[in-house]
Amino acid sequence: DGGITQSPKYLFRKEGQNVTLSCEQNLNHDAMYWYRQDPGQGLRLIYYSQIVNDFQKGDIAEGYSVSREKKESFPLTVTSAQKNPTAFYLCASTGGDGEKLFFGSGTQLSVL
């Protein structure tokens, strides 16, 4: 099955710790995105990458970092600089027709 796989489903972070959220896609999509969703709110763009080895900041990039070493993978690191990391994190991609953003199933990050 083609799709976007995010792991883990649930993640807990201790204070001062960096954690990395995984996102893998087998859709052969060029562009990948990370969004953050807080309870009862819409999604906000953290980072995006339109091509391997290149990425740009979104609206709320502070406290986050990404890499895009492979077309299939776009991991997101939530650093200790992110003081309010508790949220639902969604990875997405666009390809073929350039439109229609497809989402993964999300990772819920909580702080211990």
Site residues, another protein (CB under 8 A): 4, 31, 33, 38-45, 48, 50, 58, 90, 92-94, 98-106, 108
SS3 29: coil
Contact 8, 73 (CB under 8 A): no
Nearest one of 105, 94, 88 to 28, comparing CA atoms = 94
Least Å from the CB of residue 80 to another protein: 23
Q: Which residue, 48 or 64, is less far from another protein as judged by CB? A: 48
Least Å from the CB of residue 33 to another protein: 5
Pairing relation of β-strands 107-111 and 10-13? parallel
Residue 89 and residue 91: Cα distance in Å, rounded? Answer: 7
Q: Which residue, 67 or 80, is less far from another protein as judged by CB? A: 67
Residue 82 and residue 18: Cα distance in Å, rounded? Answer: 9
Q: Which residue, 3 or 18, is less far from another protein as judged by CB? A: 3
Least Å from the CB of residue 46 to another protein: 11
Q: Which residue, 2 or 98, is less far from another protein as judged by CB? A: 98
